[in-house]
């Protein structure tokens, strides 16, 4: 790049910075949005040796920051666009924010939502005055339909994140944060499509350049991480559905450009870590954050594991539209995320007093779960959960103590199949005839949850292959998960895998998974 080109690039970026700064400062969002509190998390601050604050976007009228960007976009529409109305595809908070913003401005809003959308979000959109059209079983299907409706009905399509006015509206969160915490050392911001991170980053880096900005993604929806590795936005192969508010397949073009220039780092966190942060938020604020809403605090806690401490850290609680039935899943997983539970397979002698001796071997630790079934063998496999104090080191000490006591131990604490399915299925291994045992293949499936989804899945699988194992749990979430075993001999293998490919469901073979081999095969 020549000196002239370099100077031109710098001038362009400076102009962009100033334009966003102007847009953020002038955004008329307080016609409908509120300035949210910055809550100090005192207990967590003591535990993590840092000053930790939570920016409470759950306090917005729609319990999410999305209202800011939606209202700012609508406030900048032309009179003609307002007359024809607006439309958007959304499975969640963008829909609610747009519906309320449109109602405030007297604009007709149509929201296209997947049939899998939790009732709480559909009902809220209608309550805020939006027209809901339920189309398809995925966001992509709803999005395609919204584009068709927009063209056919001459409506303005409102993008949930990749729009200049939407990005500027979200940037007002940073304006408030700097007023409330002028000397923040690090700010943690959740990432889905990137609108919130982009808007906050471009503002913070101009007014507080020493503040470190960290984006936080869910491990199974890390579209920003993929884009940074590729040098530009790319589609990721699969998108996890637990943190549905950030379940985005591709980062925005506008948002990525800003994030690439103004964001310092990206952290990814897993489901258990998100669940642990939901619990922490509830214990300190009595607010039940949705998974995407707790994402940034999970990233903050991961950062603290390797930081020096004594910093001023702020996380954005981006939303609190939690589907109530998902709380069961969160409660099951949060202690694993806090490192307060170990899930183990232990071999014990099949004799009287073995359980008592095992309890003595683990010391004063509480057993959270114990699964066992008599098989007539000289030894037995038990599936056991043990409560810990909250450190990886303690788990290692527990494992070593059991080994020293001559127990055969396998650690399944990080084994997703064990945590999601096997722990609920302990009760004996496959005792079908030998040739069937040899041919059993195990698969996990994930599909959009809606009334009749399981029946549809079974119908799609057909009756050609004998099902040898089946486990399904409905958490009341937007996705259903099945673990299924099939009797498939070598001659059928090619036909079977072609059938799986034709189904259109996400699937993964689990036949070699150690948890399956230990307890179910």
The CA-based angle 242-66-253, given to 5 degrees, is 80
Residue 414 has pLDDT above 50, yes or no: yes
What does the pLDDT read at residue 484? Answer: 81
pLDDT at position 198 is 97
The DSSP bridge partners found for residue 186 are 212, 313
- CB crowding 157-190: b at 16 or more within 10 Å, else e: ebbbbbbbbbbbbbbbbbbbbbeebeebbbbbbb
- For residue 436, what pLDDT band results from cuts at 50, 70 and 90? very low
From the list 55, 66, 121, 279, the catalytic residue is 66
Interatomic CA distance for residues 417 and 514, integer angstroms: 9
> What pLDDT is attached to residue 338?
78
pLDDT score at 149: 96
pLDDT in tens, 207-230: 999 999 999 999 989 999 999 999
DSSP 8-state assignment for residue 231: T
CATH no., domain 3-59+164-335: 3.40.50.1100
Whole-number CA gyration radius for the chain: 25
Q: Give the range among 64-68, 452-456, 491-495 with minimum mean pLDDT.
A: 452-456
Domain 3-59+164-335 shares a fold with domain 66-157: yes
pLDDT score, position 428: 56
Alpha helix (H) residue ranges in 85-138: 93-105, 119-127
- Return d(Cα 504, Cα 521) in angstroms, integer: 27
Residue 7, pLDDT score: 61
Higher pLDDT, 268 or 321: 268
- Among residues 16, 1, 7, which one has the least CA distance to residue 257? 16
What is the percent of the chain where pLDDT is above 90? 53
The pLDDT of 470-484, averaged and rounded, is 68
What is the fold, at CATH topology level, of the domain defined by 66-157? Rossmann fold (3.40.50)
Asked whether residue 309 carries a pLDDT value surpassing 90, the answer given is no
Q: Rounded to whole angstroms, how far apart are CA atoms 394 and 151?
A: 60
Residue 111: per-residue pLDDT: 95
Which of the two residues, 361 and 179, has the higher pLDDT score? 179
Q: Is 318 a catalytic residue?
A: yes
Helix and strand tally (H, E) in the chain? Answer: 21, 18
391 or 270, which is more confident: 270
- The tokens for 77 are 């529409």
- Mean residue pLDDT across the chain: 87
Residue 79 has pLDDT above 90, yes or no: yes
Residue 289: in which H helix or E strand, if any? none
The dotted CATH code for 434-519 is 3.40.1020.10
CATH tag for 339-414 (out of 3.40.1020.10, 3.90.650.10, 3.20.20.150, 3.40.50.620)? 3.40.1020.10
Q: Say whether 391 is catalytic.
A: no
pLDDT at res. 435 = 45
pTM for the model stands at: 0.78
Q: How far is CA 317 from the centre of its chain?
A: 13
Domain boundaries, the chain: 3-59+164-335, 66-157, 339-414, 434-519
Sole residue written with tokens 């059993």: 440
Q: Provide the CB-side half-sphere exposure for 516 (13 A, CA).
A: 21
Q: What is the pLDDT of residues 30-77, one digit of tens each?
A: 999 999 999 999 999 999 999 999 999 999 999 999 999 999 999 999
Q: Point out the catalytic residue in the list 138, 146, 296, 318.
A: 318
Confidence of residue 273 (pLDDT cuts 50, 70, 90): very high
pLDDT above 70 covers a percentage of the chain that reads 91
Which secondary-structure segment (H or E) carries 27? Answer: none
């Amino acid at each position: 790049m020549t000196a002239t080109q370099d100077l031109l690039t710098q001038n362009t970026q400076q102009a962009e910075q100033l334009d966003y700064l102007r847009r953020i400062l002038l955004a008329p969002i307080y016609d409908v949005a509120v300035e949210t509190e910055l809550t100090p998390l005192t207990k967590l601050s003591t535990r993590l040796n840092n000053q930790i604050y939570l920016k409470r976007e759950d306090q917005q009228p729609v319990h999410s920051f999305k209202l800011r960007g939606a209202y700012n976009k609508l406030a900048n529409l032309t009179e003609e666009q307002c007359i024809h109305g607006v439309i958007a595809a959304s499975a969640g908070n963008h829909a609610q924010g747009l519906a309320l913003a449109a109602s405030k401005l007297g604009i007709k809003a149509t929201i296209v939502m997947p049939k899998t959308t939790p009732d709480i979000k559909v009902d809220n959109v209608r309550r805020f005055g939006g027209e809901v059209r339920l189309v398809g079983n995925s966001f992509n299907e709803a999005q395609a339909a919204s584009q068709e409706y927009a063209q056919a009905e001459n409506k303005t399509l409102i993008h949930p994140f990749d729009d200049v006015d939407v990005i500027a509206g979200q940037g007002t969160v940073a304006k408030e944060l700097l007023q409330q915490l002028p000397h923040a050392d690090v700010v943690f911001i959740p990432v889905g499509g990137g609108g919130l991170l982009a808007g906050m980053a471009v503002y913070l880096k101009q007014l507080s350049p020493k503040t470190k900005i960290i984006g936080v993604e869910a491990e199974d929806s890390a579209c920003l991480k993929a884009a940074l590795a590729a040098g530009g936005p790319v589609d990721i192969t699969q998108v996890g559905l637990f943190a549905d508010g950030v379940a985005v397949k591709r980062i925005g073009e506008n948002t990525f450009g800003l994030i690439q220039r103004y964001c310092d780092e990206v952290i990814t966190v897993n489901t258990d870590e998100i669940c642990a942060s939901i619990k922490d938020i509830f214990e300190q604020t009595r607010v039940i954050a949705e998974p995407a809403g707790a994402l940034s605090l999970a990233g903050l806690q991961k950062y603290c594991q390797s930081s020096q401490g004594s910093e001023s850290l702020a996380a954005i609680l981006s939303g609190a539209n939690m589907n109530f039935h998902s709380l069961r899943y969160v409660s099951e997983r949060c202690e694993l995320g806090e490192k307060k539970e170990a899930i183990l397979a232990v071999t014990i002698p099949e004799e009287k007093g073995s359980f008592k001796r095992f309890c003595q071997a683990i010391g004063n630790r509480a057993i959270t779960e114990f699964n066992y079934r008599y098989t007539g063998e000289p030894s037995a496999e038990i599936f056991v959960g043990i409560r810990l104090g909250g450190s990886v080191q303690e788990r290692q000490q527990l494992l070593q103590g059991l080994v020293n006591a001559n127990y055969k131990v396998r650690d399944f604490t990080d084994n997703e199949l064990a945590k999601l399915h096997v722990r609920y299925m302990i009760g004996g291994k496959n005792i079908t005839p030998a040739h069937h045992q040899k041919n059993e293949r195990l698969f996990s499936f994930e599909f959009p949850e809606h009334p009749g989804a399981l029946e549809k899945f079974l119908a799609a699988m057909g009756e050609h292959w004998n099902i040898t194992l089946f486990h399904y749990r409905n958490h009341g979430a937007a996705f259903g998960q099945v673990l299924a075993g099939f009797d498939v001999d070598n001659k059928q293998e090619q036909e079977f895998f072609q059938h799986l490919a034709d189904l259109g469901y996400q699937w993964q073979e689990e036949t070699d998974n150690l948890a399956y081999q230990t307890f179910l095969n």
